Amino acid sequence: MAAGHIDGRIARGNQTRQLILQRTVEIASVEGLEGLSLGRLATELNLSKSGVFALFGSKEDLQLSTVHAAIKVYLKHVVQPARELPPGIDRLWHVCTGWLAYSKDRVFPGGCFFYSASAEYDAREGKVHDTLAAARTNWFTFLEQTVQEAQQAGDVAQDIDVPQLVFELAALLEMANAESVLHDEFTSYDRAAKAILNRLRGVATDPALLPDAAA
């Protein structure tokens, strides 16, 4: 009985933690990680302050947990669907269009969580900065690996500058997000998709491997 009671408390604690993190990623994508407050979350979610403090011992702990929760969402919407496709330039194209859809569909209310959070913490020091920087490095590494696998599949020219291509693709993705969020418009996604498709055609061994036009 005692073990069952403890297990039940752990399960309820995990459920409450997930409920809180669902809200924190929404808040942080719009107001920034500095906008998070243990007291505010307790009030908004009708939870006891002591219960929230028991799950997150400090504001920094809450911020770090929020970043990790956002990473899981990002992987689900952007990275994992692409991994289900065979290596090649079509996978690279779908990584890009998947990212544009993730931003356009407002998976996070404020657009790309990591674009806004990185801008908030890029000049700071500390664990939150380091966690965000590591997440960005992992994203760029994934893009580079996707390009390299497309090269191995024979879809992308061998003599291209892979880091340069990845930098350009990421810049186009992030500009689309920034323009859409700032001006509350969505044509920037079409412009970015068109530019990315043209850039990929330029490095493809056979442009016919790509669609005729960005959908």
- Residue ranges of domains in the chain: 58-209
pLDDT at residue number 8: 61
- Please give the share of the chain, as a percent, with pLDDT higher than 90: 80
DSSP of 135-152, one letter per residue?
A: HHHHHHHHHHHHHHHHHH
pLDDT at residue number 4: 52
More confident residue, 5 or 172: 172
**pLDDT-wise least confident of 10-14, 134-138, 148-152:** 10-14
pLDDT at residue number 48: 83
pLDDT at residue number 51: 81
pLDDT in tens, 39-77: 889 899 888 888 888 888 889 999 999 999 999 999 999
pLDDT at residue number 101: 98
pLDDT in tens, 86-143: 999 999 999 999 999 999 999 999 999 999 999 999 999 999 999 999 999 999 999 9
Residue 9 has pLDDT above 70, yes or no: no
pLDDT at residue number 200: 98
User: pLDDT grade, residue 210 (50/70/90)?
Assistant: very high
Q: If you average pLDDT over residues 143-162, what whole number do you get?
A: 98
Asked if residues 160 and 203 have their Cβ atoms less than 8 Å apart, the reply is yes
pLDDT at residue number 11: 63
pLDDT at residue number 151: 98
pLDDT at residue number 1: 47
pLDDT in tens, 17-30: 898 999 999 999 99
* Residues 58-209, CATH architecture: Orthogonal Bundle (1.10)
